[in-house]
Amino acid sequence: MNLQLFDTYERKVRPFEPLVDNKVGIYACGPTVYNFAHIGNLRTYLFEDLLIRVLVANGYEVNHIINITDVGHLTSDADTGEDKMELGTKRTGMTAWELAEFYTEAFQADLAKLNILAPSVWCKATDHISEQIEFVVDLEQKGYTYATSDGLYFDSRKLKSYGHLARLDVEGLQAGARVKLGERRFVTDFALWKFSPPGEQRQMEWDSPWGRGFPGWHIECSAMSAKYLGDYFDIHCGGEDHIPIHHTNEIAQTEASKGTRLANFWMHGYFLQMDKAKMSKSTGDFLTLDVIGERGFSPLVYRYFCLTAHYRSQMSFSLESLEAAKTALTRLYETAFSWGEPGTVDEGTLTRYFDCLNDDLNMPRALAVVWELVRSNLPGDVKKATLLRCDEILGLDIANWEMDQVDVPDEVEELVKAREAARASKDWAQSDELRDAVNKLGYAIEDTPGGAKISTLD
RNA sequence: GGUCGGGUAGCCAAGUGGUUAGGCACCGGUUUGCAAAACCGAUUACACGGGUUCGAUUCCCGUCCCGACCUCCA
């Protein structure tokens, strides 16, 4: 089966064809770096990693761009007062610049831990201020802007196609609007450039033809994607929350300026839903990769967990289901390890596997094929070779997995030896007593044909 | 309030107008001194009420519930 992908713009699955030869340009909306990424954020990057691995497997040469939104406004115009970047600087004592750098590095480290392939280019909004200003100047010359006392705005009603991506009901939006218009002329108008508040010195601000200030959020993506991928490129992705506002506005800017619709495919990763642990970023109380790591779940367990749901479905998170993923993944690792060296690949399995993936990245079904392979009667070396090919997409690093080497204290070692002796003389009472003693010290014993296997008790 | 998307077994989660998704847990069996692990097998579904149809979990309508966005959340 040839690759087919769901396009939010057309709201359907359709065949994927690159715009140029076999090259694919992808722009993925990156994080705003005022805090750690939570596991919900990371699900979206896992989806994009899946997409990229499948494109590569289909023989395409992928040029993958991720942006870093490292400029946010520091003086809030929200009703509640302080904005997130400012809270971040207060919380940590860092400057806005230090804050951005710190959380950018933390984010990149998280991606690496999740075995997410690094993009071709990382681009920061603050490194592309002039490109953004040029973009806005062009929009201004084409008559799509107007100024208010706090910034330069995009006049969304000038663009007939505005809101097509999200199928926005503009009249309905206006009727049900919760947000104050302020000086904006229409509810869907948005800032291209915001002025620094009078009499205040922002940590991040630049001169522009309209006055000192900083770029609106949406313009960075239109400007940077144009720079690295051209005005019209293959795939633009991000989280589902970006459909109605951010991506809608990116499209509006680019259509107004360049006359193209920006990307051929628009793809969106859907949210992770939390049960008890809420993703309340405002309190700083949310689950990060490090937090679940402290609870005994490795990053690749989280990766596996995410692979069990389709990227276009919201997924329910709980420690219970993460535990299920951990058990399944451990079984997969141990079983694959037991197969030894790889032999020849089973092409039938591989074909079924990639057919699932080429059908809009249906990883849950592809994973079912993997488990059928695992439980099949094929020889171990064939299973191993086939599984390793599957792992080029799974990204679980199956080839390098090894049994945990547990450091066993001498005390425990002695008890285990004594127990082995007791078992050899069939003194089961003594043997069980010694096993209890080992358990009390925090270690578990499993009797295998190769001798006692010792592990730490959870 | 407006717009959009969902409700599948104990949990997570695919999919389909009629034929076993898959994983985890649970139960039974094999094996093992016992236990664990492993392997084999079985059970538990399509929110509710109507409609279309030979047949609906799948299509249509309504109801209830959940979520997303409208707040520079992925």
Instruction: Give residue-wise pLDDT tens across range A126-166.
Output: 999 999 999 999 999 999 999 988 889 999 989 888 888 88
Quick one: tokens of A146? 């107007």
- A430 CB below 7 A from strand B atoms: no
Which positions 235-264 on chain A have a beta carbon less than 7 angstroms from any atom of strand B?
Answer: 238-242, 244-245
A448 beta carbon to strand B: under 7 Å: yes
Q: CA–C1' span, A444 to B34, in Å? A: 15
Q: Are residues A421 and A364 in the same domain?
A: no
Spanning CA of A324 to C1' of B2, the rounded length in angstroms is: 40
Q: How far apart are CA A274 and CA A280, in angstroms?
A: 10
For range A5-32, the mean pLDDT = 92
For A155 and B72, how far is CA from C1' in angstroms? 18
In-domain check, residue A294: yes
Which nt sits closest to A246, CA to C1'?
A: B72
Note whether A446 and A364 are same-domain residues: no
Asked if the Cβ of residue A277 lies within 7 A of any atom of strand B, the reply is: no
**Shortest CA distance to A14 belongs to which of A373, A339, A265, A378?**
A265
Where residue A366 sits, what CATH number does that domain have?
1.10.730.10
The pLDDT value given to residue A352: 94
Q: What is the mean pLDDT of residues A453-457?
A: 78
- A191 found inside a domain: yes
- Could you give the number of structural domains in chain A? 3
Q: Is A76 helix (H, G, I), strand (E, B) or coil?
A: coil
The answer to whether the CB of A351 falls within 8 A of the CB of A401 is no
Q: What is the CATH number of the domain that holds A85?
A: 3.40.50.620
- Domain-located, residue A405: no
The CA-based angle A3-A8-A14, given to 5 degrees, is 30
A338: in domain: yes
Residue A285 beta carbon within 7 A of nucleic strand B: no
Close Cβ partners of A109 (under 8 Å, ≥ 6 residues apart)? none
- Among A210, A239, A269, the domain boundary falls at A269
- Residue A352 domain-assigned (yes or no): yes
Q: Which nucleotide is nearest to A449 (CA to C1')?
A: B32
Pairing of strands A145-147, A151-154: antiparallel
- Beta-strand ranges (E) seen in A89-244 are 121-124, 145-147, 151-154, 190-195, 213-215, 233-239
What are the DSSP E strand ranges found in A309-384? 315-317
Indicate yes or no: strand B within 7 A of the C-beta of A185.
no
Structural domain contains residue A247: yes
Contact A445, A416 (CB under 8 A): yes
Domain end (from A269, A295, A322):
A269
| Residue A175 structure tokens | 């009727």
Give φ, ψ of A238 to 5 degrees: 175, -170
Query: Residue A281 pLDDT > 50, yes or no?
Result: no
| Same domain for A286 and A395 | yes
Separation of alpha carbons A88 and A95, rounded Å: 9
List the A390 CA – B18 C1' distance (angstroms). 34
- H helices of A177-297, where? 219-229, 246-258, 289-294
Q: Is the CB of A437 under 7 A from strand B?
A: no
For A25, the domain range is: 4-269
**A374, A432: one domain:** no
* Helix axis angle, A219-229 to A129-141, nearest 10°: 100
What are A172-210's pLDDT values in tens digits?
Answer: 676 666 666 778 888 888 889 988 888 777 788 899 999
Specify whether A319 is located in the same domain as A216.
no
**A326-CA/B12-C1' distance, Å:** 12
Q: How distant is C1' of B57 from CA of A373, in Å?
A: 28
Residue A431 (CA) to nucleotide B40 (C1'), in angstroms, measures: 30
Are A239 and A271 contacting, i.e. CB atoms less than 8 angstroms apart?
Answer: yes
Q: Is the CB of A37 under 7 A from strand B?
A: yes
What is the maximum alpha-carbon separation in chain A? 93
CB within 7 A of strand B (chain A, 72-111)? 72-73, 78, 84
A36 lies in a domain?
yes
Interatomic CA distance for residues A42 and A274, integer angstroms: 14
Task: Give me the residue label for tokens 């809009």.
Answer: A360
Nucleotide nearest to A176 (CA to C1'): B2
Residues A120, A122, A125: CA angle, nearest 5 degrees? 145
Model confidence pLDDT, tens digit, residues A78-112: 333 345 666 677 788 888 888 899 999 999 999 99
Q: Are residues A230 and A346 in the same domain?
A: no
The pLDDT assigned to A282 comes to 46
Residue A274: which nucleotide is closest by CA–C1'? B67
Same domain, A163 and A83: yes
**Is residue A423 domain-shared with residue A379, that is, in the same domain?**
no
Strand partners, A236: A27, A266
Interatomic separation, CA of residue A241 and C1' of nucleotide B23, rounded (Å): 29
Instruction: Please give the single-letter amino acid code of residue A354.
Output: F
Q: What is the mean pLDDT of chain A?
A: 87
- Domain co-membership, A224 together with A111: yes
* CB < 7 A to strand B: residues 101-160, chain A: none
Where does residue A209 rank: exposed (0-12), middle (13-18), buried (19+ CB within 10 A)? exposed
Strand-pairing partners, residue A325, are: none
d(CA A135, CA A252): 12
Q: Which residue approaches B33 most closely, CA to C1'?
A: A428
- Pick the last residue of a domain from A224, A240, A269: A269
Distance A177 CA to B1 C1' (A): 8
- Nearest to residue A335, comparing CAs of A370, A298, A295, A297? A370
Residue A38, CA: closest nucleotide via C1'?
B74
A402-439 CB burial, b ≥16 within 10 A, e <16: eeeeeebeeebeebbebbeebbeeeeeeebeebbebbe
| Strand B near-CB residues (< 7 Å), A 298-327 | 308-310, 313-316, 318, 320-321, 323-325, 327
A365 C-beta less than 7 Å away from strand B:
yes
Residue A19 Cβ under 7 A from any strand B atom: no
Q: b or e along A91-113 (b: 16 or more beta carbons within 10 Å of the residue's beta carbon)?
A: eeeeebeebbbbbbebbbebbeb
Q: Rg for chain A (alpha carbons), in Å? A: 27
Do A227 and A287 fall into the same domain?
A: no
Which nucleotide has its C1' atom closest to residue A369's CA?
B22
Strand B contact nucleotides, protein CB < 7 Å:
1-4, 6, 10-15, 21-25, 32-40, 67-74
The tens digit of pLDDT for each residue in A400-439 reads 988 776 778 888 888 888 888 888 888 888 888 888 888 8
Same-domain check for residues A49 and A166: yes
Which tokens is A304 given? 């596996």
Residue A75 pLDDT? 38
pLDDT attached to residue A416: 86
ipTM: 0.91
CA A169 from chain centre, in angstroms, equals 29
Q: Quick one: pLDDT at residue A280?
A: 45
Do both A16 and A136 map to the same domain?
A: yes
Q: Is residue A330 part of a domain?
A: yes
